[in-house]
Amino acid sequence: MNKDFSKHQHIIDDFKGAVSSSDFESKFAEATKTLDKTERFLLKMEIKRLANPCTRLIDLRGHVNGVCRPYEDEGRVHFIDDVAIKLFEENVALYGGYTFGVYEALMNTENNFRVMYQNEKSNPQQTPAVANTFTKTKILEKTQYPAKLYQYGPYFDRKEERMNFAIPISVRLKGDKGYDGVSSDISANGCKFRFSKTHELKVNQVITIYFKGLEEEFPFKDEQYFDYEVMNIQQAENHQFIGVQRVYVGDEARDTFRKFLVNFIQCSKRRYKVNLDNTIAALQSRTFEHFSVPKSNELPIFMHDVNGVTLPKYALTCHNNQSIYQYWQDERNTSTLHYLITPERLARLKRAQRAGHALYVYSFIHQSQGKSYFYTADNIQLSEDKTFMADFLGFASHKSDFNITQLTGLEVDSDYSHSPLTLSNIDDKQTQYLNALPPEDIQKSIETLSYLVVANEISDNETLHEYKQLSADQINTTKLKSFGHKRLTQGLVVEDVGINYKNQRTESRFFYKTPVIAESAGIKWLGKSEDFSASGLKLTLDKPSTLKNGDILQVSFPNLQKITSTFDLKGLPYEVIRINKKKNTLNLRVYVAKHKHIGRSFFKALIEKNKEKLTHDEYAMMNPELGKALRNIYSRSLMTPSLIIQTSGSRYKIEVITCNSEHEKLINYCAQLSDRSRLYNLYPILNNLQATTLMHSTLKKVKAGDIPIVDVLYISINTNKDFVDQAVTTKLGSELPTQALKKQFIHEALKKGDFLCVQVKLSRTDRPDMEYLNPELSYISGYAIHRGKQLEQQIWSVAGVVQLLDITQEAMLRCQVIPVEE
């Protein structure tokens, strides 16, 4: 139809989505009574045409002044920009679905180059005004950094496959009258359908449904209506989507309609497509989980009760949080986490958590005669004596091992230990293996856990420097002694469980202590082995070293050399793959330059001949299953937000935020500042150009094994301002170099609204573990290959993760304690 209806555009807009309403004819006649009969008829046809369903794909790449990205709707993927996305959602809400009216609205947006050219050509005198309006729009758009929130679990499995299937149905609520609806998907025992909002339904209500669209497929006879129970209700603009489950009167197995549906879906699901929404949502969350959790900078510590006392049992470690775990070890490498989390401190932590606060522990280590003595005090303890608080922090901050640890607490739910795939109905050995419950012994161990404490080290160099402004000479030594911890003759065992998504140990490990001599660059260290495998070795040196990851050591075994003449065990090359903070515990692997490694051959022979005598590292054997269970509990409970950095061509983009709480303070503000529902505005984090430029340039240089890059953001939020750029001010810590400037910023922020201090930790991610992700990805690709390819591209696009730790409470406490420089 080529007729120009622009002069009647106001009438067309008034009747968007109203064609199917019962009073359309009367209202249309009233609105067009001044038009002649032909004009009225053509206009009605145009309105009805625009309301017809559309299946065309929209691709605005190269056609609009904006960045286009994939946007999925009802299985179709469009490539549209932010302006078009907003217009799409508005028009779909008006029309009640994707129609030709929606399609044509998106093809004629104001930032479409064709539309801009036509406007300029027809109205040359208005060109400056149009340009100014567009520029203003783009400026306002820069205050929106939309991101989608992903939560880690639960990943809902479906008992049976759903097939996308739209047919007319009749729904009977009460009495004999039926109301029209349209199904959106169907399974053997349930379905989802679109229903008018004028009819109120409730969860658990029993309704009856007649599938009018299946009349040609199934001989209904007297069984026209079937009972269904309402399981869930989702509200849309003009409709509601009702999920229902079949209620059987007789034997379910002998029900003829159910048998028909099972066969019909099996034969038709390739044509109508399986509903993959739950599997796609699960795979997206699981993807970001398996990238971000191994890069966590916080140490989850699982507690258990022993004789009525709650003590640390497991510490869930990874590369990024190793420094926290190793800090809380004495000179024997025995864990001292029970100094960090005493029963009294745990009680204070729980009280602080109920009030919405964290607990901050200030600590230092005193070395005497080769032994380590730990001193700790938390902010609640120190607040009882403000004078001593400043003295303690001044004294502690001048110690080389001064540290600040933030503690938060979470309840432990043992049900979280199992995170099955969304494919339990698929009879596949690999899927069934991955879906298996934790072993019985692991389940019993988890059931004894009573609490989860999350420890974050927040003492970056800038913070430590600020505390050193306090005097170190006025400490009351009598009071100080009460904060020291007595050394235990018998250590309390805390097991170190690694975060990983597959067992990365390819060889058995055995405990074995024997003297070693390690040499590098002409420097020698004495020590002893802790355990070994054919290709690896763990050493403890008598004195701290100057070694780092990647260094090559020549290792000799003097005592083992006495028992063999076949192997030369002097100067064997090993590569350092991990070293602790104190530089005295090394994990090594064989280093082969040209020929085979003598050490590997010797230890293989040693293992073969002494299998019955050597002591297995049983903890290493059980670690993968235990680690998987504890990791699932932690990820489901994780409260610290993270940003996912993805590649977009040669640039980086941040459009994903992960957190298991929508009520976390920063997340809450990002929701309030967003102009779109279900999306979060990352403006408080990303608006500072210096911070984002530094983030992107740093990510290009760091490697997956490097320690995280740390910075601090000071954020002011003026709740009285309507415009985002006026309401939010973000400064890097380096932009407030003095304590006076920080205090002034905090004071101004609190006077106008609210203040947030966020510690930012940036890490490069590892390669994805496709073995972990492939079952669900393959299932999706089997029914929607284009969707599978998009998800695979999304998986491989992840380049980095930024953990956002709220340290507002400690920043404000620091400003109260530390005096302003004159």
Q: Which string of DSSP letters, residue by residue, matches 12-58?
A: HHHTTT-TTSTTHHHHHHHHTTTS-HHHHHHHHHHHHHHHSB-----
* Burial environment of residue 79 by CB neighbours within 10 A (0 to 12, 13 to 18, 19 or more): middle
The answer on pLDDT for 156 being more than 80 is: no
Do the Cβ atoms of 753 and 397 come closer than 8 Å? no
Give 579 or 709, the one with higher predicted confidence.
709
DSSP 502-566: S----S--EE---EEEEEETTEEEEEEEEEE-SSEEEEEESS-----TT-EEEEE-HHHHTT-SS
What amino acid occupies position 653? K
What's 306's DSSP letter? E
Q: Is residue 693 within a helix (H) or strand (E), and if so which, with residue range?
A: helix 689-699
Distance (Å, rounded) from C-alpha 494 to C-alpha 336?
8
What pLDDT score was predicted for residue 120?
63
pLDDT digits (tens, 9 = 90+) for 701-735: 888 888 899 999 999 999 888 889 899 999 999 99
Task: Based on DSSP, count helices (H) and strands (E) in the chain, helices before strands.
Answer: 29, 32
Which of the listed CATH numbers 3.40.50.300, 2.60.40.1180, 2.40.10.220, 3.40.50.1980 matches domain 510-616?
2.40.10.220
Same fold, 163-273 and 510-616: yes
Q: What is the pLDDT of residue 473?
A: 85
Strand partners, 537: 532, 588
Looking at residue 745, its pLDDT comes to: 95
Beta sheet of 495-498, edge-to-edge order: 371-378, 359-368, 403-410, 449-457, 298-306, 309-317, 495-498
Mean confidence (pLDDT) of the chain: 85
Residues with Cβ within 8 Å of 550's Cβ and at least 6 positions away in sequence, in order, are 575, 576
- Integer Rg of the chain from CA: 33
Confidence label for 618 from pLDDT (cuts 50, 70 and 90): very low
pLDDT tens digits, one per residue of 401-429: 999 999 999 999 888 888 888 875 665 55
Contacts of 596 (CB under 8 A, 6+ apart): none
* Chain segment 320-350, per-residue pLDDT in tens: 999 999 999 988 888 999 999 999 999 999 9
Sign of CA dihedral 603, 606, 608, 612: negative
Distance CA 271, CA 260 (A): 17
Whole-number pLDDT of residue 131? 34
- pLDDT of the residue at 133: 30
Looking at this protein, which amino acid is placed at residue 676? R
Instruction: Give CATH superfamily name and number for 163-273.
Output: predicted glycosyltransferase like domains (2.40.10.220)
Q: Is the pLDDT of residue 801 over 50?
A: yes
Q: What local confidence, expressed as pLDDT, does residue 623 receive?
A: 56
Tens-place pLDDT, residues 345-396: 999 999 999 988 999 999 999 999 888 999 999 999 999 998 899 999 999 9
pLDDT at residue 1 is higher than 50 = no
CA nearest neighbour of 534 among 579, 599, 594, 616: 599
Tokens of residue 657, six digits:
């935020």
The pLDDT of residue 138 is 34
Bridge partner list, 578: 587
- Per-residue pLDDT, 135: 31
- Tell me the pLDDT band of 3, cut-offs 50, 70 and 90: low
pLDDT of res. 45: 85
* pLDDT tens string 475-515: 888 999 999 999 876 667 898 888 877 654 556 678 888 99
Residue 83 pLDDT greater than 50, yes or no: yes
* Cβ burial, residue 323 (10 Å; 0-12/13-18/19+): middle
What pLDDT score was predicted for residue 507? 67
pLDDT, position 126 = 45
What pLDDT, on the 0 to 100 scale, is given for residue 70?
A: 81
**How large is the average pLDDT for residues 35-39?**
81
The sign of the CA dihedral 732, 735, 739, 740 is negative
- The more confident residue out of 113 and 640 is 640
210: which strand partners? 170
Q: Which residues contact 166 (CB under 8 A, 6 or more apart)?
A: 182, 183, 184
Query: Across the strands, what pairs with 186?
Result: 163, 191
Distance in angstroms (rounded) separating the CA atoms of residues 657 and 654: 8
**CA-based torsion, 103, 108, 113, 115: positive or negative:** positive
Q: Is 814 exposed, middle or buried (0-12, 13-18, 19+ CB in 10 A)?
A: buried
Dihedral sign from CA coordinates of 209, 212, 218, 219? positive
Secondary structure of residue 227 in the 3-state scheme: strand
Dihedral of alpha carbons 288, 294, 300, 303, sign: positive
User: Could you report the per-residue pLDDT of 171-229, keeping only the tens digit for each?
Assistant: 998 777 888 999 989 998 999 999 988 888 888 999 999 998 898 888 877 567 899 99
Task: Give the count of beta carbons closer than 10 Å to the beta carbon of residue 29.
Answer: 11
Partnered with residue 316 across adjacent β-strands are 497
How far apart, in whole angstroms, are the C-alpha atoms of residue 222 and residue 202?
28
Size (the chain), residues: 822
Report which of residues 817 and 745 the model is more confident about. 745
Global pTM reads 0.69
Give Cα separations from 509 to 126, 206, 591, 592, 615 (angstroms): 78, 60, 18, 20, 9
Q: Where are the domains of the chain?
A: 6-142, 163-273, 297-488, 510-616, 638-817
620: pLDDT strictly greater than 50: no
Q: How many CA atoms lie within 13 A of 220 on its CB side?
A: 13
Provide the token pair at 427. Answer: 């009879």
- Which residues pair with residue 298 across a beta bridge? 456
Q: Give the DSSP per-residue string, 161-220.
A: --EE---EEEEE-STT-EEEEEEEEE-SSEEEEEEETTS---TT-EEEEE-GGGTTTS--
Q: What is the mean pLDDT of residues 527-543?
A: 88
3-state helix, strand, coil in the chain (%, to 5): 40, 25, 35
